[in-house]
Amino acid sequence: MLLNLERYHRPKTLAQALALLKNAQGRVIVPIAGGTRLVASQRRDVQEVVDISRLRLNYIRLTDHGLVIGAMTTLQTLVEAHSLRQSPYHIIAQAAQATTVSKMLRNVASLGGDLVTLSPYSCLATALLALDAVLHVATDTDQGTVLPLAQYFMAGTDRRLPLGIVTEIRVPRHAADTRATFCKLSQIPSSPALINVAALLALSDGVCQTARLAIGAAEPVPIRLTLMEALLEGRSLNTAVIDSVLEKAVEHLQPFSDTHAGADYRKTVAPVLARRALLACMSNDSK
C-alpha cells in the first residue's frame, strides 16, 4: 500500500488528469492505472494519485500503419486478443502471459503501468523493444510527445521523462515475412525473469533485411543489442554467423546481480537464450 497517501483523484478527462499533475505544487502526485506495481512498491513519498481508469485508454486497433494499444489495456486482454495472434505481434501476447501466472493480476495490470515502472524484468518491454514500439505521452501541449521505447527508458534512468501520461503504445507495421520470438528464463513460471529475450528477423532469400534483438533482466532497463543487429543485417544467416555475432555482442553487456541470479550467470545464459530465439526465427518456428 501507499503509506502516506493523502488524496485520490479520479478525473473524467485527459485534460483534467494532466492539470492535476501540472499543479502538483511540490507535492508528489503520480498517475495510477491498474495499481499492481505502484501499490506493491509501498512508496512513502507518494502523497496523491490520479486514477486514469476512466479515460477510455483500453483498446487494441490494427491500422494501415500498424498496431495501436491503449495504455490502460490489461495484460489479460493482450493474452486473449485475436489481433495479437499473428506474427510478429504474437510476442506481445506471449510476453503478457509470461509477466505473471496469475490471471487475476493480468485482469488488473495494464500495459502502460508495466512499462512506466521501468522494471528491468519487464517481459512486455523486451518484446515491444524488438517490435520498434513508440509511446505517445500526452502533455499540456496539443500534440503531446512521441518517444521510441528505448529512448523513453533512457530518459527514465536519467530522470528526464516528460511530465505527462502515457496514453498509447504504437507498433509499426512490419513486412509480411517478418518472424519474431519471445523467450523467458526463470526459476519457476511465477518468478521474475533471470533473462528474457525477444528477437525479430525479416529475411529475403536467406539474407537478413531487418534484425532486432532485445534483452531484459540483464541491465537496469531492458535494452536492444544494436551492435548485433547491425552485424546481422545484410548477411546470409546461419548458425556460425549467429554464434560469431553473439560472441561480440555480449561483451558489451553489463548485467546486475540480485537475489535471483548473479551477474556472471546472466552474462552466461543471455547469449544462450538469444541464440535460441534467433534460430527459432530462422526456422520460422516462432508462432
What is the pLDDT at residue 27? 86
What is the pLDDT at residue 206? 84
The CA distance from 232 to 278, in Å, is 11
Q: What percent of the chain has pLDDT over 70?
A: 95
Q: Quick one: cell of 222?
A: 531492458
Which residues make Cβ contacts (< 8 Å) with residue 173, sequence separation at least 6?
A: 64, 65, 66, 67
What is the pLDDT at residue 158? 60
What is the pLDDT at residue 270? 94
Report the pLDDT averaged over residues 254-260.
93
What pLDDT digit, counting tens, does each position of 27-52 carry?
888 888 888 878 777 788 888 899 99
Res 287 pLDDT > 70: no
On the 0-12 / 13-18 / 19+ scale of CB atoms within 10 A, 183 is: buried
The CA distance from 225 to 245, in Å, is 11
Q: What percent of the chain has pLDDT over 90?
A: 69
Parallel, antiparallel or unpaired: strands 48-51 and 7-9: parallel
Question: Predicted confidence band at 249 (pLDDT cuts at 50, 70, 90)?
Answer: confident
Q: Quick one: cell of 48?
A: 496523491
What is the pLDDT at residue 65? 92
What pLDDT digit, counting tens, does each position of 75-88 carry?
999 999 999 998 89
What is the pLDDT at residue 157? 63
Is 183 in contact with 273 (CB distance < 8 Å)? yes
What pLDDT digit, counting tens, does each position of 269-281 carry?
999 999 999 999 9
What pLDDT digit, counting tens, does each position of 126-178 carry?
999 999 999 999 987 667 889 999 998 887 666 566 678 999 999 999 998 89
Question: Predicted confidence band at 285 (pLDDT cuts at 50, 70, 90)?
Answer: low
Question: Predicted confidence band at 286 (pLDDT cuts at 50, 70, 90)?
Answer: low
Question: Predicted confidence band at 255 (pLDDT cuts at 50, 70, 90)?
Answer: very high
CB count in 10 Å sphere of residue 187: 11
